[in-house]
Amino acid sequence: MARVFLYNVNDEEKRIKIQLAALRCGLKSVIVPPEDFSLPVGALLGEPGYTPSAGAGEGFEDEMLLMEEMDGAFLDLLRQSRAPVALKAVVTGQNKAWSSEALHRELRREHEAMRRIAGKKPVHKKKHK
């Protein structure tokens, strides 16, 4: 069963909407705790050969979804259920080696570039220290 990984979806109503959409599409939802954000994506998937980096990373507060497989029906259900998550990605051979934090940085850069092109202000939260 393919999985969708949820990061920082702290609003219970929204999280339930996302989990129900995943269930309806035959996807298993996995909540990733902040202490696992520094793990390589491949390690989160349970694949051999991906070793965690030493120490805790910088973390992030933005909501993010990572889909093990691309699922258009799932994305459609998210839109219909009004459970928007700006940062979404699909697992690839390249990003399996990245930490969730590195994936987040890349998605945020891409999302902010698209917002600039559309003439909108960035909306992402930065980690408070």
Task: Tell me the domain boundaries of the chain.
Answer: 3-118
- Report the alpha-carbon distance of residue 17 to residue 51 in Å, rounded: 33
**Token digits of residue 44:** 């989160």
In terms of DSSP bridges, do strands 3-7 and 64-67 run parallel, antiparallel, or are they unpaired?
A: antiparallel
Q: What is the mean pLDDT of residues 1-9?
A: 97
Amino acid at 38: S
- The model's pLDDT over 39-87, given as tens digits with 9 standing for 90+, comes to 999 999 999 998 776 656 788 999 999 999 988 999 999 999 999 999 9
User: Does residue 71 sit in helix, strand or coil?
Assistant: coil
Using a 10 angstrom Cβ sphere, with 0-12 exposed, 13-18 middle and 19 or more buried, the burial of residue 79 is exposed
Whole-angstrom CA distances from 24 to 19, 21, 87 are 9, 5, 21
pLDDT for 125 beyond 80: no
- pTM assigned to the model: 0.87
